[in-house]
Amino acid sequence: MNVLVVNAGSSSLKYQLFDTANGSVVAKGLCERIGIDGAITHKQLASGKEYSAQLPMPNHTAAMTYVVEALTNADHGCVKSMDEIEAVGHRIVHGGAYFSESMLLNKDVLAKLELCRDLAPLHTGAHIQGIEGCLAVMPNTPQVLVFDTAFHQTMPKEAYTYAIPTELYEKYAIRRYGFHGTSHSYVSAEMTKILGKVEGTKIVTCHLGNGSSISAVKDGKVLDTSMGFTPLAGVEMGTRCGDIDPAIVPFLMDKLNMNTTQINDYLNKKCGFLGVSGVSSDCRDLEAAIAAGNENAKLAMDLLGYQIKKYIGSYAAAMGGLDAIVFTAGIGENTASIRKRALDGLEFLGVEYDADVNEKTFGRNGVTELSTKNSKVKVYMIPTNEELVIASDTEAIVKASK
Ligand code: AMP
């Protein structure tokens, strides 16, 4: 089945056309600066042909019109008409407590998504515009929503509840939701295949990229996860602070004379690797700075390694044991020094890994075992593929609905 995967942001729209028969990407591209001026870059994978243009994109519907043109173009396109695309799968950041699985779009589902707007205003607004854009140009094509939060809906109450008055949960739905669910779902499922079973497995999945989250997956279901009400919580990230003492927020607002929007922006965009190192939000820049003797860059990396180690230990305690640790996403797949920082010292849990293999392991090499034969805990690098999960979920739901 040809499935178009759409990831709509506030001023951007990424797309990938999948052939789910073999999981291959047929074409992909990006519309940028939507609502400002507009630009599209598009690539047809088989021929390598590329196309880019600056085009007026007042909204996501206009952007989708150009996506249709690019996909059906006689030179760099890949389908004769949009009828050859049988379904659209949308990445949706926040499904609140309404969605515990991917859903076929209908009026009821769209109304529930509207209710999630309050939880992630920028993201949800953009997703709805992306959906409207697709409905405008492909009105008869089924659309499926795939939620970053859905896989985490199995968390028990004690894992998702914050110690604030219960009425706030009832009134404002304040609780832990967790994000990167499609990635945690994909790599934990791959890991259970390696372990040869789902029931009885205890896995910690470490999705480490610009945004990072760590999950405890027991019996194939999420027991706990590091991100919270928003994707700001958990471990240190590229520019996000992760967990800090909540009292720091009013303290900083006072000292730096910031309002709520400004402090939210600050904690999301000026902290993490960037804030601690003063150098960059990118791991590769930090490694270069460390090689040049920058102590703050080293602290930024040490901090993340230490936090991952603490999560692994606490999740092993929460699950009552540990069978496997999985590293994925940009840093998890490619940055050996972070994996080393996280794993060193976990011998007491039965973790033993091959330092040489770790050094030589990159996402492009595919699934790689880092643990030694004697290790009681399997340690793996498994490249994530969130778009493929969206495409396969979409295919399954559309087929089931026919
Ligand atoms: P992501 O958000 O998953 O794209 O991850 C981005 C992070 O991964 C950045 O901090 C990058 O520095 C880091 N990274 C390290 N090595 C690589 C690599 N070879 N390719 C992509 N990202 C990398």
Q: Which two tokens stand for residue 263?
A: 């402090």
**pLDDT-derived band at 106, boundaries 50, 70, 90:** very high
Q: pLDDT value at position 10?
A: 85
**pLDDT-derived band at 187, boundaries 50, 70, 90:** very high
The protein residue whose alpha carbon is closest to atom 4 in ligand 1 is 330
Residue of 210, 276, 290, 362 with the most ligand 1 atoms within 8 Å of its CB, for mutation: 210
In the chain, the percentage of residues whose pLDDT exceeds 70 is 100
Give the distance (Å) from ligand 1 centre to CA of residue 328.
10
Q: What is the DSSP string of 93-139?
A: S--TTT-SS-EE--HHHHHHHHHTTTTSHHHHHHHHHHHHHHHHH-T
| Distance of alpha carbon 400 from alpha carbon 398, whole angstroms | 5
Q: Which two tokens stand for residue 229?
A: 């009400």
Q: pLDDT value at position 120?
A: 83
Return the number of other C-beta atoms located less than 10 Å from residue 386's C-beta.
Answer: 22
Give the distance (Å) from ligand 1 centre to CA of residue 286.
12
- Above 90 in pLDDT, residue 194? yes
**pLDDT-derived band at 122, boundaries 50, 70, 90:** confident
What integer is the mean pLDDT of 197-201?
A: 98
Backbone angles phi, psi at 214, to 5 degrees: -125, 135
The protein residue whose alpha carbon is closest to atom 8 in ligand 1 is 330
| Domains in the chain: ranges and CATH | 2-147 (3.30.420.40), 195-386 (3.30.420.40)
What integer is the mean pLDDT of 288-293?
A: 98
Give the distance (Å) from ligand 1 centre to CA of residue 234.
18
pTM of the model: 0.94
CB 276, CB 311: distance < 8 Å: no
What integer is the mean pLDDT of 134-150?
A: 96
**pLDDT-derived band at 31, boundaries 50, 70, 90:** very high
Q: pLDDT value at position 21?
A: 95
CB 299, CB 353: distance < 8 Å: no
What integer is the mean pLDDT of 103-110?
A: 96
- Above 90 in pLDDT, residue 365? yes
Return the number of other C-beta atoms located less than 10 Å from residue 196's C-beta.
Answer: 7
Q: Which atom belonging to ligand 1 lies closest to the Cα atom of 284?
A: 12
- Above 90 in pLDDT, residue 28? yes
What integer is the mean pLDDT of 304-317?
A: 98
**pLDDT-derived band at 117, boundaries 50, 70, 90:** confident
- Above 90 in pLDDT, residue 323? yes
What integer is the mean pLDDT of 381-386?
A: 96
Give the distance (Å) from ligand 1 centre to CA of residue 330.
3
Q: Which atom belonging to ligand 1 lies closest to the Cα atom of 207?
A: 3
What integer is the mean pLDDT of 208-214?
A: 96
What are the Cα distances from residue 37, in Å, to 123, 132, 286? 20, 20, 34
What integer is the mean pLDDT of 47-63?
A: 95
Residue of 237, 273, 282, 381 with the most ligand 1 atoms within 8 Å of its CB, for mutation: 282
- Above 90 in pLDDT, residue 320? yes
In the chain, the percentage of residues whose pLDDT exceeds 90 is 97
Q: What is the mean pLDDT of the chain?
A: 96
Q: Which atom belonging to ligand 1 lies closest to the Cα atom of 331?
A: 8
- Above 90 in pLDDT, residue 119? no
- Above 90 in pLDDT, residue 123? no
